[in-house]
Amino acid sequence: MDKLEAMRVYRHVVETQSFARAAELLGLPRSTVSRMIKDLENYLAVQLLQRTTRKLSVTTDGQNYYAECKKILGDIAALESSFPGKTGQPRGRFKIGMPQSLARHCILPEIQSFMARYPELELVLCSSDRVTDLVQEGFDCVIRAGAVEDSTTLVARQIARFRWSVLASGQYISQFGTPKTLEDLQHHHAVGYLSHATGKTSEWHFDRQGRDVSVRMKETLVVDDTDAYIQAGLQGMGLIRVASYLVSDYLSSGVLISCLEEYAVDMPLFLVYPQSRHVSPAVRAFYDWSKATLTRHYAQ
């Protein structure tokens, strides 16, 4: 049994959740893929996959083995591409994750240029606001805001900075005035944003001379979608506090007006990927592209 080939086949089966799809991508008969996985399980003396007529699922041992397979195969690909005789052109399946708002407003409008530059990549872009386990869920990298706590198995490289700004429409300011200090906020109301992770609306955080200050706003409307949140602010339903990259057009046109800028909190955006001796060409390429794109168009 060719162990590296078996690992490569197993990785495709896990990532596609299908023997047939993996066989199609690899250009192999389905029976060959099925036999290779069975031989691999016999060799390891563990069950990697649970098979039913309707569903293919990965066992706990299978998840652990998949994570190691991906790491080893990634190291090999990165090592080979580092030699002068290799072009280092990224290729193969590349799975990235990021918050929904960032994907919708910043990455997707520009992603065609990345795909055109690296046509041999099979890009899988997952947008979700939940925290993901990179290794267990098969991500090559994710974009995250703020500090990354797990520095033992993950690498975090900053790609941009943005600002959390309090914004108001002209209609709101005409009716209620402009808050000038944090204390003024007690006389104002806001649109609340419901976090599905906590089941609560978010407090507002500010930087007062290097000290974090949290404020609980009076909320007249609560939503759970970023676009709805911004639209409510545009309609004058209350103050909103959002990442600057989401509202750059509204700010430049004057449709939304920034308030309390001296208390605004700056936040870094990081590209996060599993620690490895060799960074894959795809991760390097996406880091360079995302940093240039976000810095040029959206971040402060």
What digits encode the pLDDT tens for the residues 199-257?
A: 889 899 999 988 999 999 999 899 998 889 999 999 999 999 999 888 888 998 999 99
Q: Which pLDDT score, from 0 to 100, does residue 149 have?
A: 66
Contacts of 212 (CB under 8 A, 6+ apart): 205, 206, 265
Confidence at residue 173, expressed as pLDDT on a 0 to 100 scale:
96
If asked whether residues 153 and 60 sit together in one domain, one would say: no
Sign of the torsion formed by the C-alpha atoms of 23, 28, 29 and 31: negative
The verdict on 190 and 160 lying in the same domain is: yes
> Are 219 and 295 within one domain?
yes
Q: Give the model's pLDDT for residue 105.
A: 86
Written as one letter, the residue type at 252 is: S
What does the block give as tokens for 110? 């520009």
Number of domains within the chain: 2
Please tell me the predicted confidence (pLDDT) of residue 92: 81
Which of 13, 47, 82 finishes a domain? 82
Same domain, 73 and 97: no
Q: Do 194 and 244 have their domain in common?
A: yes
Domain-terminating residue out of 56, 82, 108: 82
Q: Both 265 and 141 in a single domain?
A: yes
Residues 78 and 112 in one domain: no
Token code pair at residue 18 = 């299908």
Domain limits at 54? 3-82
Question: Tokens 């959002």 sit at which residue?
Answer: 242
C-beta separation of 91 from 121 below 8 A: yes
Q: What is the pLDDT of residues 145-198, one digit of tens each?
A: 877 766 667 889 999 988 899 999 999 999 999 999 999 999 999 999 998 778
Q: How far apart are CA 260 and CA 27, in angstroms?
A: 59
CATH code of 213's domain: 3.40.190.290
Dig out the tokens for 181 from the structure: 């200090």
Same domain, 118 and 211: yes
Is the domain of 158 the same as that of 209?
yes
Which alpha helices (DSSP H) does the chain contain, by range? 3-16, 19-26, 30-44, 60-81, 100-102, 111-117, 170-176, 226-234, 248-253, 281-297
Phi, psi (deg, nearest 5) at residue 238: 160, 170
Between CA 217 and CA 223, with CA 220 as vertex, the angle to 5 degrees is 90
Residues 64 and 164 in one domain: no
Which residue, among 132, 135, 141, 139, has the nearest Cα to 153 in the 3D structure?
135
- This prediction has a pTM of 0.70
- Kindly give, in sequence order, each residue whose CB lies less than 8 Å from that of residue 295, ignoring residues fewer than 6 positions away: 159, 160
With a cut of 60, say whether residue 299 has pLDDT above it: no
pLDDT at position 52: 76
Q: What CATH number did the domain enclosing 19 receive?
A: 1.10.10.10
**Residues 109 and 198 occupy one common structural domain:** yes
Could you read off the pLDDT of 48-92 as tens digits, one per residue? 998 877 778 899 999 999 988 888 887 777 777 666 555 567 888
For residues 99 and 78, state if they share a domain.
no
